């Protein structure tokens, strides 16, 4: 049922009625989620496209609620005060932003601590915030749903690590399957006896128990959680990968082992300064790295992919109907952006239709990128002309968009760069182009130059000005009466530039 979570066998309703009341709605009203974890407490306010919510506001406090809890059985006293202060601020921020509803979900630290109920009661009585405490199974399910929000076709194993726990969930055919929870959080591991050998033996034993519960036949593992993202950021630094966006960053098993070894061999403070990770987060990285090493050894995945989406996004996904879930997050985000930022909303669809003959027979994966590019082609028009191409590229490659791999981000960004700029020579973005092969780079250039021509050929509708027909060795533009007036010197120059990139003859009739 949408909007219903379970904990300790009971149903709870953190949002009551669904926040998505209309399947045809494209926009999401402003909603907020507070995630009270063992290490961090985070407020996220979502807004934007209904199927691809954007972060309107995002703030995190490293409260450390669960620090030393494995030894004391109670929440960390300093963490409690920092956490309460953070929640007080978040409640005031939400009120100031008009956020309704504001949902607060707590995980391992609050649910396992002796004084967890007292903290929960204090938050409700003094701040008026209902703190929903969920069990490990539910935490695993929501994290997996968060991955589905970002990856509609996700298939594999979701691994969510927090300060005091680690959850696993199987994803297949758009559904969450078997789930398991453990105490493999770094705060817990700080209390394991026996030195390095004892720690490794403990992690291995627990990991084997988890494998028995969820199986090991998973080609891909989706990594959710701040510690995993920190390790991925270190992997990016070690390999000098040209892109710093963490969502959908991929690592092979060998790379993971090399990075874990690199972390062991280097001073943690030095590594922290290299990548700008906070001290509180970095302190947990060495232990999390040991867990990641064993995760790879036990489950033997072919690939690990970082997800910036987790419990918070999973709560939104909980409220989505099947109809809404089936929409493409990339196209929905592009449509929303066009409506908000383009000079002529709705023109992108017309541009796509006009250019469609150039791309007959492309794969569905390429077609969605072409559609998205056409929708986004005019969304940076307010930037200075000298920087418009790079701004367009930068916006897309770093945008909060789901269902978009790193190479796809670069393809889309490069196409939009060429929408505004004929040449990419000497571009400051050149290192990123290496994520595409020669054919992909050429295809992005062709798409960009096609949009560069089509977008200025007619400011109302290029389909009313002419039609394109791609022949084996020529691209034919058949002009209408309207088109004959519009096909001036600049339009001809851009059409010929497109044909040159396609290596075909320009024919105008």
- In which residue are the tokens 């809404």 written? 324
Neighbours of 425 (CB within 10 A): 7
Looking at 277, 312, 347, the residue that finishes a domain is: 312
The Cα 422–Cα 355 span in angstroms is 18
Note the pLDDT tens digit of each residue in 225-250. 999 999 999 999 999 999 999 999 99
Return the closest-CA partner of residue 413 out of 437, 391, 393. Answer: 393
Return the closest-CA partner of residue 232 out of 327, 304, 160. Answer: 304
Q: Which domain range does residue 189 map to?
A: 137-312
pLDDT at 17: 58
pLDDT at 319: 85
**13-17, long-range: CB < 8 A, 24+ apart:** 14/101, 14/103, 14/104, 14/105, 14/130, 14/132, 14/315, 15/101, 15/103, 15/315, 15/319, 16/101
Alpha-helix runs per DSSP H in 319-387: 322-325, 329-341, 347-355, 364-376
In total, how many domains does the chain have?
Answer: 3
Secondary structure percentages of the chain, helix, strand, coil, to 5: 50, 20, 30
pLDDT at 26: 79
The Cα 215–Cα 168 span in angstroms is 11
**169 and 39 belong to one structural domain:** no
**341 and 485 belong to one structural domain:** yes
pLDDT at 16: 57
In contact, 466 and 491? CB cutoff 8 Å: no
pLDDT at 18: 64
Flag whether 318 is in a domain.
no
The Cα 287–Cα 423 span in angstroms is 47
The whole model's pTM is what? 0.93
Looking at 85, 104, 134, the residue that finishes a domain is: 134
Flag whether 320 is in a domain.
no
Flag whether 269 is in a domain.
yes
User: For residue 286, what are the contacts with CB-CB under 8 A and spacing of at least 6?
Assistant: 263, 264, 268
**152 and 290 belong to one structural domain:** yes
**129 and 141 belong to one structural domain:** no
pLDDT at 43: 97
- 250 sits in which H/E element: strand 250-251
Note the pLDDT tens digit of each residue in 205-227. 999 999 999 999 999 999 999 99
The Cα 436–Cα 242 span in angstroms is 12
Tokens of 77: 């006293």
Flag whether 321 is in a domain.
no
Low-confidence ranges of the chain (pLDDT < 70): 1-21, 23
Return the closest-CA partner of residue 39 out of 356, 278, 371, 389. Answer: 278
Question: What letter does residue 356 receive in the DSSP assignment?
Answer: G
**97 and 148 belong to one structural domain:** no
The Cα 214–Cα 159 span in angstroms is 11
pLDDT at 275: 94
**234 and 334 belong to one structural domain:** no
- For residue 43, report the phi and psi dihedrals to the nearest 5 degrees: -105, 125
**62 and 177 belong to one structural domain:** no
Tokens of 418: 């060429």
**173 and 257 belong to one structural domain:** yes
Looking at 134, 165, 193, the residue that finishes a domain is: 134
**Sign of the CA dihedral with 177 first, then 14, 321, and 48 last:** negative
Strand order in the sheet with 505-508: 466-470, 474-479, 505-508
Number of Cα atoms under 13 Å in the Cβ half of residue 182: 27
User: For residue 426, what are the contacts with CB-CB under 8 A and spacing of at least 6?
Assistant: none
**What CATH number did the domain enclosing 164 receive?**
3.30.420.150
pLDDT at 321: 86
**What CATH number did the domain enclosing 119 receive?**
3.30.420.40
The Cα 492–Cα 509 span in angstroms is 12
């Amino acid at each position: 049922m949408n909007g219903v979570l379970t904990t300790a066998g009971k149903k709870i309703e953190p949002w009551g009625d669904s926040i998505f009341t209309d399947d045809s709605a494209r926009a999401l009203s402003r909603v907020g989620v507070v995630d009270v974890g063992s290490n961090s407490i985070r407020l996220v306010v979502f807004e934007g496209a209904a199927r691809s919510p954007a972060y309107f506001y995002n703030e995190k406090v490293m409260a450390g609620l669960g620090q030393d809890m494995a030894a004391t059985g109670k929440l960390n006293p300093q963490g409690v005060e920092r956490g309460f202060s953070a929640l007080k601020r978040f409640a005031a921020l939400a009120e100031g932003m008009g956020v309704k509803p504001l949902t607060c979900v707590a995980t391992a630290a609050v649910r396992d601590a002796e004084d967890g109920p007292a903290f929960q009661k204090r938050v409700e009585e003094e701040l008026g915030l209902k703190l929903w405490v969920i069990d490990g199974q539910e935490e695993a399910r929501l994290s997996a749903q968060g991955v589905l929000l970002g990856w509609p076709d996700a298939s594999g194993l979701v691994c969510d690590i927090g300060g005091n726990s680690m959850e696993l969930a199987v994803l297949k055919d758009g559904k969450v399957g078997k789930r398991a929870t453990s105490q493999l959080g770094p705060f817990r591991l700080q209390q394991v006896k026996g030195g390095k050998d004892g720690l490794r033996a403990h992690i291995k034993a627990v990991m084997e128990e988890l494998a028995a519960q969820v199986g090991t036949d998973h080609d891909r593992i989706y990594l959710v959680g701040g510690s995993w993202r920190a390790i991925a950021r270190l992997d990016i630094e070690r390999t000098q990968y040209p892109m710093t966006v963490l969502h959908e960053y991929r690592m092979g098993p060998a790379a993971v082992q090399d990075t874990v070894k690199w972390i062991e061999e280097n001073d943690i403070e030095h590594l922290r300064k290299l990548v700008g990770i906070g001290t509180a987060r970095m302190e947990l990285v060495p232990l999390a790295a040991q867990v990641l090493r064993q995760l790879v050894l036990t489950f033997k995945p072919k690939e690990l992919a970082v997800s910036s989406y987790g419990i918070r996004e999973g709560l939104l996904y909980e409220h989505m109907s099947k109809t809404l879930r089936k929409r493409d997050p990339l196209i929905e985000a592009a449509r929303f952006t066009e409506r908000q930022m383009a000079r002529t909303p709705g023109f992108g669809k017309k541009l796509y239709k006009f250019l469609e003959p150039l791309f007959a027979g492309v794969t569905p994966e390429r077609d969605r990128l072409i559609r998205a590019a056409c929708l986004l082609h005019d969304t940076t028009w307010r930037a200075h002309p000298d920087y418009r191409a790079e701004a367009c590229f930068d916006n897309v490659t770093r945008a909060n968009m789901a269902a978009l791999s790193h190479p796809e981000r670069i393809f889309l960004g490069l196409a939009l760069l060429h929408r505004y700029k004929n040449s990419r020579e000497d571009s400051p973005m050149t290192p990123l182009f290496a994520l595409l092969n020669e054919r992909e780079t050429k295809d992005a250039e062709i798409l960009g130059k096609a949009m560069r021509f089509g977008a200025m050929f007619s400011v109302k509708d290029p389909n009313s000005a002419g039609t394109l027909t791609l022949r084996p060795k020529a691209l034919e533009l058949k002009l209408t009466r309207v088109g004959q007036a519009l096909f001036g010197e600049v339009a001809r120059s851009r059409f010929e530039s497109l044909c040159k990139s396609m290596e075909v003859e320009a024919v105008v009739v």
